[in-house]
Each structure stands twice: as C-alpha cells, then as structure tokens.
Amino acid sequence: MIITLSPTGGTPAEQVHGQLRGLIATGALAGGERLPSVRQLASDLGIATGTVAKAYRQLEEEGLVVSRVGAGTRVSRTASTVSQAVVDAARALASAARRDNMSAEDAERVLRAVW
C-alpha cells in the first residue's frame, strides 16, 4: 500500500482518506485486510497520529473499515468495490493524462466536465 502526500492535494487527512478509499474501492485493499496502525502510518508519512486517526474514523463512518481495540483496523468485508471496467477506464484516463503532462487535478476537472 502506497500513500503519498502532496502540498496541493488538500489536507493530509483528506489525502489519506481519499487514497485509502480509492485503494478499497478498486480492490487493491481487499476485505479483511489489515491497515497499518495509526502510529505506523503517521510515522511513515511524517504527519500527526491524530491526522491518520481522523482519516480512519471517516472511513469507519462510511462503512469501509472496521476498527477494534487490540485487533487494529481492517477493510470491511462488506466494503463495495468498483467494477473492473471502471477501474480500467480510470487507469486509461490517468495514463493519457500523464502522457499529456496533466496534473491529477486537471484530469479530475476533465472527468467532471464530461460527467
């Protein structure tokens, strides 16, 4: 699992939440898979533990993860995933955008415009 933070991608909590949500939606994080501890992920990213805890709480409120004391945080077995066709189309958009030297934000604007 790779999470990266960008100075222009929103708050760190929003970025962690969004990226984990995407990994779960695409099936890159499968149901039952354990997420890193709050402390570990915060240390890896160089951010406060409260920031990661906030992102994890949001994911739990959305039903995407389940947290248990002593057992950690795991992807919910009922978390819905996106169809392979949508994942493939998103990858194609990302590839084309990178070839054209577009930022992720610009590619998102294009997607929203054609939505």
- The answer on 58 and 19 residing in a single domain is yes
Question: CATH code at 27?
Answer: 1.10.10.10
Q: Is residue 17 part of a domain?
A: yes
Q: Chain-wide mean pLDDT for the chain?
A: 91
Q: Is residue 35 part of a domain?
A: yes
Q: Is residue 22 part of a domain?
A: yes
- The answer on 49 and 97 residing in a single domain is no
- The answer on 88 and 70 residing in a single domain is no
pTM across the whole model: 0.74
Q: Is residue 1 part of a domain?
A: no
Quick: pLDDT tens for 48-74. Answer: 999 999 999 999 999 999 999 888 999
Task: Please state the domain count of the chain.
Answer: 2
Res 33: pLDDT: 93
Residue 54 to residues 5, 20, 24, 80, 109, Cα–Cα distance (Å): 15, 12, 17, 21, 27
Domain range enclosing 89:
84-114
